Amino acid sequence: MDTAAEWLEWDERRAREWLAVPRDGDDKYSRGVLGVITGSHDYPGAAVLGVEAAMRAGVGMVRYTGPSAVRHLVMARRPEVVGVGGRVQAWLIGSGMTTARRTLILGGELDQAMAEGVPTVLDAGALDLVHEARGAVVLTPHYRELATLLMETARRAGHGAVKVSAEHGGPPHVDQIAAQPALWAGRAAQQLGATVLLKGAVTYIAHPDGARFTVSGAPSWLATAGTGDVLGGILGALLATRHRTIAQDPDAVAPIAATAALLHALAARRASQGGPITALDVAEAVPATVAALLSGK
């Protein structure tokens, strides 16, 4: 099931088909609105980075309803953002948040978002909300986060899940995931019933029903703080703009996730030109990268 031969390397030709281009009759709502609950007192920058990337990936509007202290920073960077709740076509939740403190600050908001059933990106401190979400979910862990999530999942579900995991030798240590990322991305998708986008030098995207994609070729300069938050923003924007496709075919979240990862890698390459980059540099390179992808250059 998860052997290397079954993984398809995602390319620019395929990605082009999953980008949404606004039409003459579109307005900001028909293009898609992304709701964002990210950032915290300790990590406000994660919210700024994700929102910046989402806006630059071509979403119709962003509603940011995370912690109010963080909201000021987000709005200072991007006055286009709307700071009040309302209808959204997709959610981005968790970057820069901690599992322990999030409920205290945001309990009701998170419950409501999870109940809406729209496509949702769960990152960092919200990965475990996969157990509550009603719509199509894309999880975006790095190796350590996936190890923690699988451990918590086994513990939470008690003996039943432990038995299931035991067939595979129990929940993996982070070193096992690092040694076999394809295997564990696939198993996690099946066990959690969600698309898993496992981050690293190669990004692995696994859908529970079997679709398997890789994205390689990002420059190693991308291994710098906050670039995962930027990826979350790009992915959230693509889910919001392709919400109609996902409503008809929930499996579309996997190729859309692969497209987001490829766009992220190409933007990093464009920003880097062989030299160091910051996370904001990657976000700022997204519009020109989208244009180049669409024109086939």
Ligand X SMILES: NC(=O)C1=CN([C@@H]2O[C@H](COP(=O)(O)OP(=O)(O)OC[C@H]3O[C@@H](n4cnc5c(N)ncnc54)[C@H](OP(=O)(O)O)[C@@H]3O)[C@@H](O)[C@H]2O)[C@@H](O)CC1
Ligand Y SMILES: Nc1ncnc2c1ncn2[C@@H]1O[C@H](COP(=O)(O)OP(=O)(O)O)[C@@H](O)[C@H]1O
Q: Which residues bind ligand Y (CB under 6 A)?
A: 142, 199-201, 203, 218, 220, 222-223, 225-229, 231, 264
228 binds ligand X (CB under 6 A): yes
As a whole number of angstroms, the distance between CA 169 and CA 184 comes to 12
| Site map 87..126 versus ligand X, x via CB under 6 A | --------xxx--------------------------xx-
Q: Which is nearer to ligand Y, 61 or 147 (CB)?
A: 147
- Min dist. Cβ of residue 240 to ligand X (A): 20
Residue 200 binding: pick among ligand Y, ligand X, none (C-beta 5-8 Å cut-off by kind)? ligand Y
What's the token pair of residue 148? 């923690």
242-245: Cβ within 8 A, 24+ apart? 242/18, 242/20, 242/32, 243/32, 243/89, 243/90, 243/118, 243/119
| CB closest to ligand X, residue no | 45
What track of x and - describes contact with ligand X for positions 50 through 89 (by CB under 6 A)? ----------------------------------------
228 belongs to an annotated ligand binding site = yes
Annotated binding site: 46, 96, 142, 199-203, 228-229
Annotated binding site for (6S)-NADPHX: 46, 96, 142, 229
Q: Which residues form the interface with ligand X (CB under 6 A)? A: 43, 45-46, 95-97, 124-125, 142, 144-145, 225-226, 228-229
Annotated binding site for AMP: 199-203, 228
